[in-house]
Amino acid sequence: MKYRFIDDLTSDVMFEVYGKSLKEVFENAAEALFSVICQIKKVEPKVSREIEMEAESAGELMFDWLQELIARSDIEGMFFSKFEVLEVSETRLKARIWGEEASPEKGETVVKAVTYYGYSFARDGKGYRVRVSLDI
Protein backbone atom coordinates (compact mmCIF):
# COMPACT_ATOMS: atom_id res chain seq x y z
CA MET A 1 0.00 0.00 0.00
CA LYS A 2 1.34 3.41 -0.98
CA TYR A 3 -0.98 5.46 1.24
CA ARG A 4 -4.33 5.38 3.00
CA PHE A 5 -6.73 8.04 4.21
CA ILE A 6 -7.64 8.29 7.87
CA ASP A 7 -10.92 9.72 9.07
CA ASP A 8 -9.89 11.89 11.94
CA LEU A 9 -11.39 15.30 12.40
CA THR A 10 -14.02 17.70 11.40
CA SER A 11 -12.29 19.95 8.91
CA ASP A 12 -9.16 18.28 7.58
CA VAL A 13 -7.99 15.48 5.40
CA MET A 14 -5.47 13.10 6.93
CA PHE A 15 -3.44 10.37 5.25
CA GLU A 16 -0.63 8.01 6.08
CA VAL A 17 2.05 7.32 3.51
CA TYR A 18 4.38 4.35 3.33
CA GLY A 19 7.64 3.61 1.52
CA LYS A 20 10.45 1.10 1.75
CA SER A 21 12.94 3.84 0.97
CA LEU A 22 13.13 7.61 1.26
CA LYS A 23 12.68 7.81 -2.50
CA GLU A 24 9.49 5.79 -2.34
CA VAL A 25 7.93 7.60 0.59
CA PHE A 26 8.52 11.03 -0.99
CA GLU A 27 7.01 9.89 -4.29
CA ASN A 28 4.03 8.27 -2.59
CA ALA A 29 3.36 11.33 -0.42
CA ALA A 30 3.22 13.54 -3.50
CA GLU A 31 0.76 11.14 -5.09
CA ALA A 32 -1.43 11.11 -1.99
CA LEU A 33 -1.45 14.93 -1.95
CA PHE A 34 -2.48 15.26 -5.59
CA SER A 35 -5.15 12.60 -5.20
CA VAL A 36 -6.81 15.16 -2.90
CA ILE A 37 -6.25 18.17 -5.19
CA CYS A 38 -7.28 16.57 -8.50
CA GLN A 39 -8.55 13.44 -10.19
CA ILE A 40 -5.00 12.23 -10.47
CA LYS A 41 -5.69 9.30 -12.80
CA LYS A 42 -7.04 11.68 -15.42
CA VAL A 43 -4.05 14.02 -15.25
CA GLU A 44 -1.60 13.27 -18.04
CA PRO A 45 2.15 13.64 -17.55
CA LYS A 46 2.54 16.08 -20.43
CA VAL A 47 5.14 18.48 -19.09
CA SER A 48 7.69 18.21 -16.35
CA ARG A 49 9.27 20.46 -13.75
CA GLU A 50 12.25 19.99 -11.52
CA ILE A 51 12.29 20.68 -7.79
CA GLU A 52 15.32 20.89 -5.56
CA MET A 53 15.18 21.59 -1.88
CA GLU A 54 17.04 21.35 1.39
CA ALA A 55 15.93 21.14 5.01
CA GLU A 56 17.34 20.33 8.41
CA SER A 57 15.84 16.87 8.77
CA ALA A 58 13.96 14.26 6.75
CA GLY A 59 10.74 15.21 8.56
CA GLU A 60 11.14 18.89 7.69
CA LEU A 61 12.13 17.97 4.15
CA MET A 62 8.90 16.01 3.68
CA PHE A 63 6.81 18.86 5.10
CA ASP A 64 8.52 21.38 2.80
CA TRP A 65 8.19 19.07 -0.21
CA LEU A 66 4.43 18.85 0.17
CA GLN A 67 4.10 22.57 0.87
CA GLU A 68 6.21 23.32 -2.23
CA LEU A 69 4.02 21.06 -4.38
CA ILE A 70 0.87 22.88 -3.21
CA ALA A 71 2.45 26.24 -4.04
CA ARG A 72 3.75 25.04 -7.43
CA SER A 73 0.31 23.80 -8.40
CA ASP A 74 -1.16 27.25 -7.61
CA ILE A 75 1.63 29.29 -9.18
CA GLU A 76 1.94 27.34 -12.41
CA GLY A 77 -1.75 26.51 -12.66
CA MET A 78 -0.92 22.83 -13.04
CA PHE A 79 -2.01 19.47 -11.70
CA PHE A 80 0.75 16.91 -11.21
CA SER A 81 0.38 13.14 -11.42
CA LYS A 82 3.81 11.56 -11.80
CA PHE A 83 6.68 12.05 -9.38
CA GLU A 84 10.22 10.79 -9.59
CA VAL A 85 12.71 11.46 -6.86
CA LEU A 86 16.08 11.65 -8.58
CA GLU A 87 18.31 12.15 -5.56
CA VAL A 88 17.40 12.14 -1.90
CA SER A 89 19.11 12.22 1.47
CA GLU A 90 17.78 13.11 4.92
CA THR A 91 18.33 16.80 4.17
CA ARG A 92 18.27 17.19 0.40
CA LEU A 93 15.88 16.33 -2.38
CA LYS A 94 15.93 16.57 -6.15
CA ALA A 95 12.86 15.47 -8.05
CA ARG A 96 11.14 15.67 -11.41
CA ILE A 97 7.39 16.00 -11.49
CA TRP A 98 5.02 15.64 -14.46
CA GLY A 99 1.54 16.92 -15.09
CA GLU A 100 -0.65 19.12 -17.22
CA GLU A 101 -2.42 22.46 -17.14
CA ALA A 102 -5.02 22.53 -14.35
CA SER A 103 -8.69 22.56 -15.24
CA PRO A 104 -11.73 22.46 -12.95
CA GLU A 105 -13.02 19.39 -14.86
CA LYS A 106 -10.10 17.39 -13.48
CA GLY A 107 -10.03 19.14 -10.11
CA GLU A 108 -11.11 17.86 -6.70
CA THR A 109 -10.54 20.48 -4.03
CA VAL A 110 -8.30 23.35 -2.99
CA VAL A 111 -5.65 22.31 -0.49
CA LYS A 112 -4.71 25.36 1.53
CA ALA A 113 -1.74 24.00 3.44
CA VAL A 114 0.00 21.13 5.17
CA THR A 115 -0.42 21.43 8.92
CA TYR A 116 1.52 20.24 11.95
CA TYR A 117 -1.61 18.62 13.38
CA GLY A 118 -0.71 14.96 13.98
CA TYR A 119 2.28 15.28 11.67
CA SER A 120 4.81 12.49 12.06
CA PHE A 121 7.71 11.11 10.12
CA ALA A 122 8.86 7.70 11.36
CA ARG A 123 11.22 4.98 10.30
CA ASP A 124 11.00 1.36 11.41
CA GLY A 125 12.33 -2.01 10.24
CA LYS A 126 10.03 -2.05 7.21
CA GLY A 127 10.73 1.46 5.99
CA TYR A 128 9.12 4.85 6.39
CA ARG A 129 5.69 5.91 7.61
CA VAL A 130 4.52 9.53 7.39
CA ARG A 131 1.29 10.98 8.73
CA VAL A 132 0.08 14.18 7.13
CA SER A 133 -2.96 16.36 7.64
CA LEU A 134 -4.10 19.01 5.21
CA ASP A 135 -6.13 22.14 5.67
CA ILE A 136 -8.66 22.23 2.85
Partner 1 sequence: MKEKLKRIGDFEWELDENSRERMKAKARIIANDAVMEAIEDDAVQQLTNVATLPGVVSPVVGLPDMHWGYGLPMGAVGAFDSEHGIISAGLCGFDINCGINLIKTDLTSDEVKPKLKELVAELFRNIPAGVGAKGKLKLSEDELKDVLVRGVDWAVEKDYATKEDKERTEEKGRMEGADPSKVSALAMKRGGPQLGTLGAGNHFLEIQEVSNIPDRETAKRWGINEEKQVMIMLHCGSRGLGHQVASDYLRIQEQAVKKYNIWLPDRQLACAPVNSPEGQDFFAAMKCAVNYAFANRAVMTKWVRESFENVFKREWEEMGMKTVYAIAHNIVKLEEHKVNGEKRMVYVHRKGATRSFPDTPVIIAGSMGTASYLLKGTETAMEKTFGSSAHGAGRVMSRHAAIKKFRGTEIASGLEKRGIVSKSTHPKVMAEEAPEAYKDVEAVVDSVHGAGVSLKVARMVPLGVMKG
How far apart CA 85 and CA 27 sit, in angstroms, is 6
Sign of CA dihedral 73, 78, 81, 87: negative
Binding segment (CB under 8 A) for partner 1, from list 20-28, 31-39, 46-54, 90-98: 31-39
Among 84, 98, 117, 131, binds partner 1 (CB under 8 A): 117
By the rule CB under 8 A, 84 interacts with partner 1: no
CA-nearest of 71, 76, 75, 80 to 36 is 80
Q: Give the residue, chosen from 3, 13, 27, 61, that forms a contact with partner 1 under the rule CB under 8 A.
A: 13
Q: What's the order of all strands across the beta sheet hosting 113-124? A: 3-6, 12-19, 127-135, 113-124
What is the bridge-based pairing of β-strands 47-54 and 78-88? unpaired
If binding is defined by CB under 8 A, does position 106 make contact with partner 1? yes
Give the binding range for partner 1 (CB under 8 A) out of 50-58, 83-91, 108-116, 124-132: 108-116
The site map against partner 1 for 39-78 (x = CB under 8 A) is x---------------------------x--xx--xx-x-
Interacting residues with partner 1 (CB under 8 A): 5, 7-14, 37-39, 67, 70-71, 74-75, 77, 79, 102-110, 112-117, 135-136
